[in-house]
Amino acid sequence: MARISIDIPEKQIYSTDLSVRISDINFAGHLAHDAILTLTHECRARFFHFHGWTEINVEGKGIVVSDVAIVYKSEAFFPDDLEMQLYVDNVSKKSLEMVYVITHKNGGKEIARAKTAIVFFDYAERKPCPIPDVFIKVLE
């Protein structure tokens, strides 16, 4: 079976601490796949908030998540403390990839990697748009 591979880019842009909530646990008793996606969204929203933006307002432009990939490395359980590192890669005129590395806060064991393709979007015009310059400056 072919496996998805997510490499860790060089450019880390943000890091935050999160905890596994009881609602993040699946029938097998560990961190659920859908919760990984929710944790990536939380990390991304915190990154935007840290810079005074929202996901629908970076100088009047928003974002759309166009695809997602998740690779599991180990289990996490309630109420584990986690660290999420956020990286960027493949920046183009209108899009980029955000790569998330989730580890146990104590000991650093890697739990998962995820990647979301982000397209900047003009919600007034209902179409993709260039990445705002202020966002590009944060990445530099």
Q: pLDDT tens across 82-118, in order? A: 999 999 999 999 999 999 999 999 999 999 999 999 9
Q: Count of CB atoms within 10 A of residue 6's CB?
A: 18
Q: Give the burial class of 20: count Cβ atoms within 10 A of its Cβ; 0-12 exposed, 13-18 middle, 19 or more buried.
A: buried
Using DSSP bridges, classify how beta strands 81-89 and 110-122 pair: parallel, antiparallel or unpaired: unpaired
pLDDT of res. 122: 98
Tell which residue, 121, 25, 34, has the closest CA to residue 70: 34
The domain made up of 13-139 has a fold known as Thiol Ester Dehydrase; Chain A (3.10.129)
Q: What does pTM read for this prediction?
A: 0.95
Q: pLDDT tens across 61-87, in order? A: 999 999 999 999 999 999 999 999 999
Where helices occur in 1-140 by DSSP H, the ranges are 33-50, 133-139
